[in-house]
């Protein structure tokens, strides 16, 4: 297993060169990364002050780190703690104006005014555009499949010239993007629609 210093050096080098870092989950099983994170956090002012829970940084131990890893899953109590240890920028990145323009070039969508979309897109819309673009769902599904799925979920969508029309602003834009991002769920028991806060696969 590579040392934490080697792993972090490689990540920094690839970041400087604008290269992606893949297979990050494998490194979560390296206890040395957690020990380095602890060493970075414990000198902070307030690190020994309990928050909403009684735990403080000085309660960390190698045994606790190993227990987290041995469970087969890495669990963090808050997203804030996760961001202190790992760079989540590429996971929750907001689409830039250029990303939006690239998005508009996809073959099966139509955006009437790309400049208007760039001007109106808020942080939520930009995160959704980036997520939808990265997922490849628009390349994997035909316009007809998207239209039929939207109808089944009672999501109003507009199809023009065999292309999905992406609204340029407002709740209509957010609703279509959330649908494409798998963020709308229908309960099989009540048939009610819900916004999902997780896209983890079951089973």
* pLDDT higher than threshold 60 for residue 185: yes
Q: How confident is the model at residue 151 (pLDDT cuts 50, 70, 90)?
A: very high
pLDDT, position 92: 73
**147 vs 80, higher pLDDT:** 147
**Alpha carbon 46 to chain centroid, angstroms:** 30
Edge-to-edge strand ranges of the sheet holding 163-165 = 109-110, 163-165, 158-160
Measured CA to CA, the distance from residue 104 to residue 133 in angstroms comes to 10
* Residue that terminates a domain, selected from 85, 110, 132: 85
Do 112 and 191 reside in the same domain of the chain? yes
Do 81 and 101 reside in the same domain of the chain? no
Q: Quick one: which of 174, 157, 104, 95 has its CA closest to 131?
A: 95
Do 21 and 69 reside in the same domain of the chain? yes
Measured CA to CA, the distance from residue 100 to residue 98 in angstroms comes to 5
Measured CA to CA, the distance from residue 94 to residue 177 in angstroms comes to 13
b/e sequence 134-167, b meaning 16+ C-beta within 10 Å: eeeebeebebeebbeebeeeebebeeeeeebbbb
Do 80 and 115 reside in the same domain of the chain? no
State mean pLDDT over 120-148: 94
If residue 152 lies in a helix (H) or strand (E), which one and from where to where? helix 143-152
**Neighbouring C-beta atoms of residue 13, cutoff 10 Å:** 11
**Neighbouring C-beta atoms of residue 4, cutoff 10 Å:** 17
pTM exceeds 0.85, yes or no: no
Do 71 and 102 reside in the same domain of the chain? no
**CA distances in angstroms from 44 to 8, 17, 40, 41, 147, listed in the order given:** 21, 31, 8, 6, 53
SS3 26: helix
State mean pLDDT over 23-37: 75
State mean pLDDT over 13-38: 78
Number of folded domains that form the chain:
2
Do 109 and 187 reside in the same domain of the chain? yes
* pLDDT higher than threshold 70 for residue 202: no
Structural domain of residue 141, as residue ranges?
97-195
């Amino acid at each position: 297993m590579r040392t934490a210093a080697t792993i972090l050096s490689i990540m920094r080098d690839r970041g400087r060169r604008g290269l992606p870092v893949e297979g990050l989950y494998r490194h979560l099983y390296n206890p040395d990364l957690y020990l380095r994170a602890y060493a970075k956090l414990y000198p902070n002012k307030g690190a020994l002050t309990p928050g909403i829970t009684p735990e403080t940084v000085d309660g960390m131990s190698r045994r606790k780190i190993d227990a987290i890893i041995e469970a087969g899953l890495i669990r963090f109590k808050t997203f804030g703690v996760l961001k202190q240890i790992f760079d989540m920028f590429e996971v929750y990145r907001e689409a830039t104006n250029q990303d939006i323009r690239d998005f508009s070039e996809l073959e099966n969508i139509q955006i009437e005014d790309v400049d208007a979309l760039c001007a109106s897109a808020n942080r939520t819309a930009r995160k959704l555009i980036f997520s939808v673009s990265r997922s490849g769902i628009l390349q994997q599904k035909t316009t007809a499949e998207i239209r039929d799925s939207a109808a089944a979920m009672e999501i109003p969508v507009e199809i023009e010239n065999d292309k999905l029309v992406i609204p340029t602003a407002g709740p209509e834009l957010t609703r279509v993007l959330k649908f494409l991002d798998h963020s709308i769920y229908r309960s099989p028991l009540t048939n009610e629609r819900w916004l999902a806060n997780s896209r983890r696969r079951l089973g």
